[in-house]
Amino acid sequence: MIARLVPGCSVAAKAEIIRHIEGQGLRVHVGDSGTSTVVSIIGNPSPRLADELQALSGVDSVTLEAPSYPLVSLDSQPGPSVVKVDSVSFGDTPVVVIAGPCSVESSEQLNTIARSVASSGAVMLRGGAFKPRTSPYSFQGLGVEGLELLHDAGSGNGLKVVSECVAPEDVAVMVEHVDMIQIGARNMQNFRLLSAVGEQPKPVLLKRGLMSTIDEFLLAAEYIMSSGNPRVVMCERGIRSFDTSTRSTLDISAVPVLKEMTHLPVIIDPSHAAGRRSLVPSLAAAGVAAGADGLIVEVHNQPDQALSDGAQSLTLDGFADSMKTIANVAGALGRSVALL
Amino acid sequence: MIARLVPGCSVAAKAEIIRHIEGQGLRVHVGDSGTSTVVSIIGNPSPRLADELQALSGVDSVTLEAPSYPLVSLDSQPGPSVVKVDSVSFGDTPVVVIAGPCSVESSEQLNTIARSVASSGAVMLRGGAFKPRTSPYSFQGLGVEGLELLHDAGSGNGLKVVSECVAPEDVAVMVEHVDMIQIGARNMQNFRLLSAVGEQPKPVLLKRGLMSTIDEFLLAAEYIMSSGNPRVVMCERGIRSFDTSTRSTLDISAVPVLKEMTHLPVIIDPSHAAGRRSLVPSLAAAGVAAGADGLIVEVHNQPDQALSDGAQSLTLDGFADSMKTIANVAGALGRSVALL
Amino acid sequence: MIARLVPGCSVAAKAEIIRHIEGQGLRVHVGDSGTSTVVSIIGNPSPRLADELQALSGVDSVTLEAPSYPLVSLDSQPGPSVVKVDSVSFGDTPVVVIAGPCSVESSEQLNTIARSVASSGAVMLRGGAFKPRTSPYSFQGLGVEGLELLHDAGSGNGLKVVSECVAPEDVAVMVEHVDMIQIGARNMQNFRLLSAVGEQPKPVLLKRGLMSTIDEFLLAAEYIMSSGNPRVVMCERGIRSFDTSTRSTLDISAVPVLKEMTHLPVIIDPSHAAGRRSLVPSLAAAGVAAGADGLIVEVHNQPDQALSDGAQSLTLDGFADSMKTIANVAGALGRSVALL
Amino acid sequence: MIARLVPGCSVAAKAEIIRHIEGQGLRVHVGDSGTSTVVSIIGNPSPRLADELQALSGVDSVTLEAPSYPLVSLDSQPGPSVVKVDSVSFGDTPVVVIAGPCSVESSEQLNTIARSVASSGAVMLRGGAFKPRTSPYSFQGLGVEGLELLHDAGSGNGLKVVSECVAPEDVAVMVEHVDMIQIGARNMQNFRLLSAVGEQPKPVLLKRGLMSTIDEFLLAAEYIMSSGNPRVVMCERGIRSFDTSTRSTLDISAVPVLKEMTHLPVIIDPSHAAGRRSLVPSLAAAGVAAGADGLIVEVHNQPDQALSDGAQSLTLDGFADSMKTIANVAGALGRSVALL
Does residue C36 register a pLDDT over 80? no
Which of A229, A224, A272 minimizes the C-alpha distance to A250? A272
Which residue among A43, A133, A189 places its CB closest to the CB of B132? A189
Q: Which of the residue ranges A250-254, B179-183, C286-290, D64-68 would you say has the lowest mean pLDDT?
A: D64-68
* pLDDT for the residue A108: 95
**pLDDT tens string C165-195:** 999 999 999 999 999 999 999 999 999 999 9
| Low-confidence winner among A230-239, B324-333, D33-42, D244-253 (lowest mean pLDDT) | D33-42
Q: Which of A71-75, A285-289, B109-113, B172-176 has the lowest mean pLDDT?
A: A71-75
Q: What is the pLDDT of residue A30?
A: 83
Dihedral sign (CA A97, A323, A212, B214): negative
B251 touches chain C (CB under 8 A): yes
Q: Provide the pLDDT for residue D33.
A: 64
Closest chain B CA to residue A239 = B211
Query: Nearest CA to CA, how far is D209 from chain C (Å)?
Result: 10
Nearest partner of D205 among D127, D145, D282, D288, judged by Cα = D127
Q: Is the pLDDT of residue D274 over 90?
A: yes
Q: Which residues contact A229 (CB under 8 A, 6 or more apart)?
A: A197, A198, A199, A200, A201, A203, A204
Question: What local confidence, expressed as pLDDT, does residue A309 receive?
Answer: 82
Question: Alpha helices, DSSP H only, in chain A?
Answer: 11-22, 49-55, 107-120, 144-156, 171-177, 191-198, 214-226, 254-261, 270-274, 280-289, 316-332
Question: What mean pLDDT comes out for the span A37-52?
Answer: 84
Q: What is the pLDDT of residues D156-211, one digit of tens each?
A: 999 999 999 999 999 999 999 999 999 999 999 999 999 999 999 999 999 999 99
| HSE-CB of C1 using CA atoms within 13 angstroms | 23
- Whether B95 shows a pLDDT value over 80: the answer reads yes
Does B34 have pLDDT greater than 70?
no
pLDDT higher than 70, residue A34 = no
Write down the pLDDT at residue B8.
Answer: 84
Q: Which residues does chain A have within 8 Å of residue D253's beta carbon, measured at their own beta carbons?
A: 245-246, 249-250, 273-274, 279, 282-283
Residue D315 has a pLDDT of: 97
Phi, psi of D93 (to 5 degrees): -60, -45
Q: How many residues does chain B have?
A: 340
A43, A135, A166 ranked by CB distance to B219: nearest: A135
C275 in B contact zone (CB under 8 Å): no
Closest by Cα among A65, A68, A67, A71 to A39? A71
**Predicted pLDDT at D162:** 98
Question: Which of C283, C285, C331 lies at the smallest CB-CB distance from B253?
Answer: C283
Q: What's residue D38's pLDDT? A: 85
Amino acid at C313: S
> What string of H, E and C letters represents the secondary structure of chain C?
CEEEECCCCCHHHHHHHHHHHHCCCCEEEEEECCCCEEEEEECCCCCHHHHHHHHCCCEEEEECCCCCCCCCEHHHCCCCCCEEECCEEECCCEEEEEEECCECCCHHHHHHHHHHHHHHCCCEEECECCCCCCCCCCCCCCCHHHHHHHHHHHHHCCCEEEEECCCHHHHHHHHHHCCEEEECHHHCCCHHHHHHHHCCCCCEEEECCCCCCHHHHHHHHHHHHHCCCCCEEEEECCECCCCCCCCCECECCHHHHHHHHECCCEEECHHHHHCCHHHHHHHHHHHHHHCCCEEEEEECCCHHHCCCCHHHCECHHHHHHHHHHHHHHHHHCCCEECCC
Query: Which of the 8 DSSP states describes residue D292?
Result: -
Q: What integer best gives the mean pLDDT of chain D?
A: 94
| % of residues, chain A, pLDDT over 90 | 79
3-state helix, strand, coil split of chain D in percent (to 5) is 40, 20, 40
Neighbors of chain C with 3 or more C-beta pairs under 8 Å: A, B, D
Contact criterion met (CB < 8 Å) for D291 and A282:
yes
What pLDDT, on a 0 to 100 scale, did the predictor assign at position C2?
Answer: 85
Q: How confident is the model at residue D330 (pLDDT cuts 50, 70, 90)?
A: very high
Mean pLDDT of A237-258: 97
* Inter-chain CB proximity D191 and C136 less than 8 Å: yes
Closest-CA residue of chain B to D248: B242
Q: With contact defined as beta carbons under 8 Å apart, do A268 and A250 qualify?
A: yes
Pairing, β D204-207 against β D232-236 = parallel
Q: Dump the DSSP string for B97-115.
A: EEEE-SB---HHHHHHHHH
**pLDDT at residue B33, rounded to an integer:** 64
Mean pLDDT of A198-209: 98
Give the integer Cα–Cα distance in Å for C137 and D42.
9
C242 contacts in chain A (CB < 8 Å): 240-242
Nearest CB to A253 within list D250, D254, D331:
D250
Partner residue facing B219 (CB), from A134, A168, A219: A134
Sign of the CA dihedral C23, C26, C27, C33? negative
Q: Is B32 helix (H, G, I), strand (E, B) or coil?
A: strand
Among the listed residues A128, A217, A207, the one whose alpha carbon sits nearest the alpha carbon of residue A170: A128
Chain D residue closest to B244 (CA)? D242
Spatial contact of D253 and A247, defined as CB atoms under 8 Å apart: no
Cβ separation of D168 and C167 shorter than 8 Å?
yes
CB A204, CB A220: distance < 8 Å: no
Give the Cβ contact number of residue C251 at 10 Å.
Answer: 25
Average pLDDT over residues B310-330: 97
Inspect the interface and report whether the beta carbons of C283 and B256 lie closer than 8 Å: yes
**Per-residue pLDDT at B331 exceeds 80:** yes
CA distance B17 to chain C (A): 36
Q: Do B244 and D240 touch (CB under 8 A)?
A: no
Alpha-carbon distance values, D266 to A253, C42, D165, D233 (Å): 19, 42, 20, 6
**CB proximity B192 to A under 8 Å:** yes
Interface test with A, best of B137, B171, B226, B244 (most A CBs within 10 A): B137
Three-state SS at B245 = coil
What angle is formed at CA C331 by the lines to CA C325 and CA C336, rounded to 5 degrees?
Answer: 95
Q: Output the pLDDT for position D245.
A: 94
Number of residue pairs across A and B with CB atoms under 8 Å? Answer: 69
Residue C276 amino acid letter: R
pLDDT at A196 (0 to 100)? 97
Helix axes D191-198, D214-226, angle to 10 degrees: 40
CB contact under 8 Å between A329 and D256, yes or no, is no
Mean residue pLDDT across chain C: 94
What's the rounded Cα separation, in Å, for the pair B214 and B220? 10
Distances (CA, A) of C220 to C223, C240, C270: 5, 18, 21
DSSP state of D265: -
Largest Cα separation within chain D, whole Å, is 67
Rg (CA), chain D: 21
At position A334, the amino acid (one-letter code) is G
Using alpha carbons, list the distances in angstroms from residue C18 to B302, C79, C226: 46, 21, 16
B247: confidence class by pLDDT, cuts 50, 70, 90: very high
Cβ contacts of B250 within 8 Å, gap of 6 or more:
B236, B237, B238, B268, B270, B273, B274, B283, B286, B287, C251, C252, C253
C210 at interface of D, judged by CB pairs closer than 8 A: yes
Distance CA A109, CA A103 (A): 10
Cβ neighbours of C24 (radius 10 Å): 14
Cα of A248 vs its chain's centroid, Å: 19
Measured between alpha carbons, how far is B302 from B313 in angstroms, rounded to an integer?
9
If one counts every other C-beta atom within 10 angstroms of the C-beta of residue B18, the result is 16
pLDDT at res. A64:
79
- Indicate the Cα dihedral angle C196, C197, C201, C204, nearest 10°: -170
Nearest to D240 among B211, B240, B242 (CB): B242
Average pLDDT on B187-199 reads 97
- The secondary structure element, H or E, covering residue B161 is strand B160-164
Residue A204 β-bridge partners: A181, A232
CA distances from C29 to C80, C222, C227, D5 (A): 15, 12, 11, 66
Phi/psi at B16 (5° precision) = -65, -40
The pLDDT tens digits of the residues spanning A96-145 come to 999 999 999 999 999 999 999 999 999 999 999 999 999 888 888 999 99
Q: Are B279 and C257 within 8 A, CB to CB? A: yes
Q: Which residues of chain D neighbour B242 with C-beta distances below 8 Å?
A: 240-242
The answer to whether D240 faces chain B, any CB pair under 8 Å, is yes
Q: Distance between CA atoms of D279 and A330, rounded to whole angstroms?
A: 18
Look at residue D302 in the predicted model and tell me its pLDDT.
Answer: 94
Residue C308 confidence class, pLDDT cut points 50, 70, 90: confident
Question: Residue B25: what pLDDT?
Answer: 86
Distance between CA atoms of residues B277 and C220, nearest Å: 27
Buried b / exposed e over A268-289, threshold 16 CB at 10 Å, is bbbbbbbbbbebbbbbbbbbbb
Please enumerate in sequence order all residues whose Cβ is within 8 A of that of C324, keeping only pairs 6 or more positions apart, or say none. Answer: none
- Residue D334's SS3 state is coil
ipTM: 0.91
D7-29 average pLDDT score: 89
Residue B256: is its pLDDT beyond 80? yes
Residue A33 pLDDT: 64
What average pLDDT does the segment D46-73 reach?
A: 87
A48 class by beta-carbon count within 10 Å (0-12 exposed, 13-18 middle, 19+ buried): exposed
